[in-house]
Amino acid sequence: MEGRIPLLGEKFPEIEVQTTHGKMKLPHAFKDKWFILFSHPADFTPVCTTEFVAFQKRYDEFKKLNTELIGLSIDQVFSHIKWVEWIKDNLNIEIKFPVIADDTGRVSGILGLIHPGKGTNTVRAVFIVDPQATIRAILYYPQELGRNMDEILRMVKGLQISDKEGVAIPANWPNNELIGDEVIIPPATDEETAKERMKQYTCFDWWLCHKKL
C-alpha cells in the first residue's frame, strides 16, 4: 500500500530509480550486499550538507562491511549533481555514492518518507537492508535534527555480528555499562539448557549470559 511505512522483516520494495549514477533497480543493484538508503529533506541545505559529508567520510568503513550507501530527496537529478559538485568544490569532499532524484515523489510514497506534520519534504529516514533484501532497521529523524552516522555504522556491525554468531547486542555496544564489548547469549527456552548456560558462559542469571566474541 502506497504511503505505508514498510515494516522490519519485510522485503525492500522493488523500485526503479533515477540517480546521479544513472538508472538503478533496487534492491537488485546491491545484490549480495547490505545497503543503506537514507533520505534528506532537500539539496543545498545546511544540515543535509553536513550529513552527506559525514556519510562520505565513513564510506570506506561501510564498504569494508560490504555495505553501500544511496541517498534520496525529492529534488531533481540536476539539483543533486550541482549540489554534489558544490560540496566537492567548496568542501573538498567527493560524494562517491549515488543519490536518488525522487522529484515525482513516487519513491517517497512507497517508502512512507513524507510526513505531513513535518512539511512537504522527505524526513530524514534510514533503511538498513541486508543481502537478502530484507529490511533490518528503520530510523526516522525530524528535519531539524541531523543523524549520528557512527550509530548507523554501529548498527550494521551489530546486525552482522548477530547474524554470524547467533547472539544479541547489548546497549551502547561495544561500550556497554555491564559487559563492555561482549555479546549476549539468547535466553534458554527450557530448564536443561538454562542449567547448561550457567556452566558454559559468564552469567548474571540463567537468562542473562554473555561471552567474548
Give the residue ranges of DSSP H helices in 8-127: 46-57, 59-64, 77-91, 106-111
3-class secondary structure, 142: coil
Residue 48 annotated to the active site: yes
**Domain positions in the chain:** 15-147, 166-213
Q: Which of 17, 26, 36, 48 is catalytic?
A: 48
Q: What pLDDT is attached to residue 4?
A: 65
In angstroms, the Cα distances linking 190 to 186, 195, 202 are 12, 9, 18
CATH 3.40.190.290 fits 166-213, yes or no: no
Mean pLDDT by 10 residues, the chain (213 residues): 74 94 96 94 87 96 98 88 96 96 84 68 87 96 90 98 97 97 93 89 94 94
Q: What pLDDT is attached to residue 103?
A: 82
* Domains 15-147 and 166-213 fall in the same CATH topology: no
Q: What pLDDT is attached to residue 99?
A: 94
Q: What pLDDT is attached to residue 1?
A: 39
- What 8-state DSSP symbol labels residue 146? -
- pTM greater than 0.75: yes
Instruction: Please provide the CATH number assigned to the domain covering 15-147.
Output: 3.40.30.10
Q: What pLDDT is attached to residue 94?
A: 97
Q: What pLDDT is attached to residue 116?
A: 64
Taking the C-alpha atoms of residue 164 and residue 8, their distance in angstroms, rounded to an integer, is 19
Q: What pLDDT is attached to residue 75?
A: 79
